[in-house]
Structure 1
Amino acid sequence: MPILTTNPSTAKERAEHRLLVSLRFACLMTKHSNPMDCPRVKQRVAELERYLYQHHPSQRFDQVYVDCAGELGESFALRVHSQNYQATIWRSHHHAAAITPLFSNAIA
């Protein structure tokens, strides 16, 4: 779970980290097989999309999630489209090494 054991270094990264943790928690709590069907996940996705539209993603966020799949904990993946910052989340059944973690400078 790199998202929870990271050390974001800028204000923008800290804001993104809070949004991602909140989104991941909503995904973990949903009983829906597709997290995008859950109203709480939809709300958190909308918050993330609104933030990205207003503030544009940090370089790290851009490298991990924009136009590619990035890890959102061990069980979920997130992709954000560069054209409109629309986010998509799905359950990931792949090994975590196949998905790029955000803020990979994890604290040991």
Structure 2
Amino acid sequence: MPILTTNPSTAKERAEHRLLVSLRFACLMTKHRNPMDCPRVQQRVAELEKYLYQHHPSQRFDKVYIDCAGDLGEHFALRVNSSNYQVTIWRSNHNAAAIHTLFSHAIA
């Protein structure tokens, strides 16, 4: 699955895409069962959180990750809290659409 899009069309989407690809790579390389326990993943999460705090996310990013669980590649999911831009990542054995539905119902 592509992260956001394979063809980012705006500078904001290109910046987000770069951060997400970097974060996905760190997740793929970690030996930790929980990717959030990995120092490299934590560093990349901090970079994404800082970016989101300083720049309003693109509409596409907002739709996929803000208060929703979205794919971060095939084996990971990512969710961003809208109130403080806190990022959470976990290993996913489920389809992101199913996770999105679960989160949507849990929040509602």
Q: Name the TM-score, length of structure 2 as normaliser.
A: 0.87
Deviation at 1:95, TM superposition (A): 3.0
Q: Name the TM-score, length of structure 1 as normaliser.
A: 0.87
- Higher relative contact order, structure no. (Cα contacts within 8 Å, ≥ 6 residues apart): 1
* Equivalent pair of 2:32/2:38 in contact (CA under 8 Å): yes
Which deviates more, 78-87 or 5-14? 5-14
| Structure 2: runs of 5 or more not aligned | 101-108
Distance 1:84 1:23, change over 3 A: same
Aligned length: 100
Deviation at 1:5, TM superposition (A): 6.5
1:35 aligns with 2:44: no
Which residue matches 1:47?
47
**RMSD, aligned α-carbons:** 1.6
Deviation at 1:96, TM superposition (A): 5.1
Which residue matches 1:60?
60
| Structure 1: runs of 5 or more not aligned | 101-108
* Equivalent pair of 1:23/1:44 in contact (CA under 8 Å): yes
* Equivalent pair of 1:71/1:99 in contact (CA under 8 Å): no
Runs of 4+ in 1 over 6 A off after TM superposition: none
Separation in structure 2 between the aligned mates of residue 14 and residue 6 of structure 1, nearest angstrom: 10
Deviation at 1:38, TM superposition (A): 0.1
Q: Structure 1 counterpart of 2:9, which letter?
A: S
* Equivalent pair of 1:74/1:96 in contact (CA under 8 Å): no
Which residue matches 2:106?
none
Deviation at 1:4, TM superposition (A): 8.5
Q: Please state whether the residue corresponding to 2:3 is helix, strand or coil.
A: helix
Quote the sequence identity (%): 87
Q: Structure 2 counterpart of 1:72, which letter?
A: L
